Structure 1
Amino acid sequence: MSNASQKNGAKENVKLLNISLLDKVFQVKCTVDKIKELNDAADRLDKEMRKMRQAGVVGLDRIAVITALNLTRLVNELEKNLNNNVHVVSSKVKGIQKRIDDSLTHIEQLEL
């Protein structure tokens, strides 16, 4: 496939979406396969921004910044928990592997 064909194919897979945040509409480009994810993210962001506005935070910029900070903190916390869980699971898998190896060694010794 030529570069021109690839570029045209890529353009065909990109759509312009309207998302609404605090009743203000923004147009964003999105690949077709990510439309649902983007809409879900926009809905979540709108919900969080509305919470900030109801809490008395004023100004779209300030609401956006505080919401972004809160969501980033949440992402950081989830990443930390994920990394901890990966470490725990990895340690347990290593322990299971060692027990299997020990059992196989024991079986081999019994066969001798």
Structure 2
Amino acid sequence: MTDPYAQVNIKILEKEYQISCPASERAALLDSAEMLNRKMREIRDTGKVIGLDRIAVMAALNMADELLRSRNRGEHLEGDARLRLQAMRERVEGALQAGRRLDL
């Protein structure tokens, strides 16, 4: 069954946009638009970047950087967890081997 589409009105830097998306993704779109609006306001309010297109590019670059850093942190944590699990498995296997030797 296909997901019905919804028209969603979003506002970014006082400009309204109408976006079509699957109805099930409406909340995620609104959250994304709110985040983008917040980032663009922060950049605009510094006064260092002028022009909507430049503000949008800076916001996109900042958000992409945050995503990549988050992904890298996740991969690092996953690697740490994998190493810990391997060490635990080796200790358990060692304990089981020692237990078998004692049983003999």
Aligned-residue offset at 1:89 = 0.6
Aligned-residue offset at 1:107 = 1.0
- Does 2:67 align with 1:75? yes
**Secondary structure class of the residue paired with 1:58:** coil
Q: Which runs of 5+ in 1 are unaligned?
A: 1-5
Aligned to 2:34: 43
Question: Following superposition of structure 1 onto structure 2, how do residues 1-112 of structure 1 map, counting pairs within 5 Å?
Answer: 6=1, 9-10=2-3, 12=4, 14-56=5-47, 57-112=49-104
**Amino acid of the structure 1 residue aligned with 2:32:** A
CA RMSD of aligned residues (A): 1.2
Aligned-residue offset at 1:45 = 0.7
Distance 2:61 2:24 in 1: 27
Distance 1:101 1:31 in 2: 50
Distance 1:22 1:94 in 2: 50
Runs of 4+ in 1 over 3 A off after TM superposition: none
| Most deviating of 24-33 and 51-60 | 24-33
TM-score normalised by length of structure 1: 0.85
Aligned-residue offset at 1:30 = 1.8
Distance 1:64 1:53 in 2: 10
Aligned-residue offset at 1:32 = 2.1
**Amino acid of the structure 1 residue aligned with 2:19:** V
Distance 1:102 1:32 in 2: 54
Percent of pairs with identical residues? 28
TM-score normalised by length of structure 2: 0.91
**Secondary structure class of the residue paired with 1:97:** helix
